[in-house]
Structure 1
């Protein structure tokens, strides 16, 4: 894989041609726009925070029927009114309506009978000898059918992020599903030494990036539908990369060039087009991005700290573009960076920091194999090669 795509590359000569950190993020964004999946109908309970891929229209009016807005009496004509029954919310609606001079006791939310002109609240009513009296205003305290939303009216527009209130609105209008753009991501964690449970020990490590990526993907507008853990076998990895049904496959731990790293070879087997082959950043430079048959493949380093940086570099801009939403990691404000931070001569450094009082302060513990720094940070400070001490850009952490 040469990964250049005609775009200038940079980096340590010892690592060969690789994209700059900023170029890699832009390449991921462009590929996400190119491979954006069509909207899919998904159940309401799964649609929170997704982006609508189409307008949502009212299947019924709101209210769907004439409903009482108060506990009291539905009345017809002029009073005083003869009491002719009771109406409760959820009860079957009798066919017969009210005649002038009649009233029914009614609960909030109950169907207002035909012929009724208003609801007289309990507190304004006088009741005695089977009759009710009081002052009413025609149309008062009735939620008339369709007065809030007409059937067929557009209530949510394409590109809207689905909030809890939007879910409730859709449910109130009879929707069971919503058309959203939420990319589906499969995560594959490789390594004979990686265990998914128990204490790490002699020759084994716990998988730390598998638990990280579902939250990162959701924050970016995607959904991890499957997490697989595989040994270091080329044939097994190739089989896992095909037929996933995912829009994106993120492969952790096989992106470098060691004897157990098969990601590049498998991409060649699949005839994939390579967009990024290495990124000039620290940590996380052995990362990659390719696509074949409408699926994007993201290669992440095996070290968890480096893998998180790579996920923010490639996976997040890729899936946010697919989902049609802004990249939540981008922070347009530049801030002073305090402390003893030294730039790399060739690569962009991503330094975990806490942001307070308009300044970024390193939290330390930023080695590629550790998530301790990221777990205690708000963001990564972007320290370019040859940094001169000026204000730095931030990449927010989920």
Structure 2
């Protein structure tokens, strides 16, 4: 069986999510964590009128000026007259005809009601209409993750609702009779480290984890695998399984997928660590991501196929790879892509980390991402490599 290379697998997983669910219109209070399904355009110029950017006096002509009223934010001023000063608050409409604003801290008021002082700058201290954006201007493209900042600018430019794609729901199933979910494992058993950590990774790649707590391992039988996957797919668009991706005596995932009528999108990837990982589509459009049982390999599998899939399902672009310089040599892995745990140090260089075995998590806990060493190559100190940087925040831009 020909294994797709790592880059090809990412592209295939992203394309699998192209038939995303229809977007929905939601109020601004409910859109954080979603994805824009259409460009965000202003419904008004920003700002819509000449707006004072400081507290002070809007003046016309040379000083001293006769005080001729006050205008606060939300009020409509009358036109400024020659020789007058109008007290003005930050954010208020500048009176038509005003030529400058003298800051309140730079002005003095005489007992006869006059105002004197000098503008601090040659250019008026106000914002002009359209200075930030013209009416109808595109501020953000479709596919942009909705953050609190996006919600704020949407409200500022007149939107009450947004057309968005909701984040897909994703759940986790852990396979293995050898797993225990609490305490120190006894002889022959292993503490499950994937059930506790994968929900956090899912949040950071833009999915909504729907993982029961506690998460109990699925029994090592075909019937239990089929039932668990079918049940999970009833409540989540993506089912992430851990373990069972080989074809050993207790590896039932492939047989379960066959019984459920699944079609493979990706079936193993030429990557180390991370072998073997798979992505399959169930009848009805739900997905199963088969992640290896070794913890670091499982995280690599999730970032290889699930992150691009989530991006596809939400209309986001394929997660980007960044270019970095290496601070030390990085070995290759023969014909496979090598994803090497790395940390960016203060000198700006990426250094491979120790404790990077497939079953190890010590290096993963300190890493900033994976260096991508192409098949059939190795890197020397100072070489340029792609970096699959870890997503740090829920819904982070890919």
The two structures have a TM-score, normalised by structure 2, of: 0.70
* Partner residue in 2 for 1:131: 114
* Partner residue in 2 for 1:288: 278
- Aligned-partner SS, 2:355: coil
**Is the counterpart of residue 107 in structure 1 residue 89 in structure 2?**
yes
* Partner residue in 1 for 2:242: 252
Aligned residues: 369
* Cα separation, partners in 2 of 1:218 and 1:158, compared to 1, 3 Å: same
Aligned pairs for 1:304-383 within 5 A: 304-322=295-313, 323-329=315-321, 331=323, 337=329, 343=333, 350-352=339-341, 363-377=353-367, 378-380=369-371, 382=373
* Partner residue in 1 for 2:393: none
**Is the counterpart of residue 240 in structure 1 residue 232 in structure 2?**
yes
In 2, are the aligned partners of 1:216 and 1:316 still within 8 Å (CA)?
no
* Partner residue in 2 for 1:158: 142
* Cα separation, partners in 2 of 1:24 and 1:119, compared to 1, 3 Å: closer
**Is the counterpart of residue 396 in structure 1 residue 377 in structure 2?**
no
In 2, are the aligned partners of 1:306 and 1:368 still within 8 Å (CA)?
yes
Unpaired stretches in structure 2, ≥5 consecutive residues: 391-398
- Aligned-partner SS, 1:128: coil
Aligned pairs for 1:8-23 within 5 A: 9-10=1-2, 18-21=3-6, 23=8
User: 1:56 Cα deviation (Å)?
Assistant: 1.1
The two structures have a TM-score, normalised by structure 1, of: 0.70
In 2, are the aligned partners of 1:47 and 1:180 still within 8 Å (CA)?
no
* Cα separation, partners in 2 of 1:176 and 1:119, compared to 1, 3 Å: same
* Cα separation, partners in 2 of 1:208 and 1:41, compared to 1, 3 Å: farther
Deviates more, 1:255-264 or 1:38-47: 38-47
User: 1:300 Cα deviation (Å)?
Assistant: 0.7
Aligned pairs for 1:134-153 within 5 A: 140-146=124-130, 148-153=132-137
Query: CA RMSD, aligned part only?
Result: 4.5
- Aligned-partner SS, 1:27: helix
Aligned pairs for 1:11-50 within 5 A: 18-21=3-6, 23-32=8-17, 34-37=18-21, 39=23, 43=28, 47=32
**Is the counterpart of residue 277 in structure 1 residue 277 in structure 2?**
no
* Cα separation, partners in 2 of 1:141 and 1:45, compared to 1, 3 Å: farther
Which residue of the other structure, out of 65, 75, 78, is the alignment partner of 1:97?
A: 78
Deviations 1:2-39 (A, max 9, x none): xxxxxxx33xxxxxxx545455344324324x334555
In 2, are the aligned partners of 1:68 and 1:108 still within 8 Å (CA)?
yes
**Is the counterpart of residue 303 in structure 1 residue 320 in structure 2?**
no
* Cα separation, partners in 2 of 1:249 and 1:149, compared to 1, 3 Å: same
* Cα separation, partners in 2 of 1:185 and 1:397, compared to 1, 3 Å: farther
Deviations 1:235-281 (A, max 9, x none): 2331111242x3x3322234344565543344334432212233344
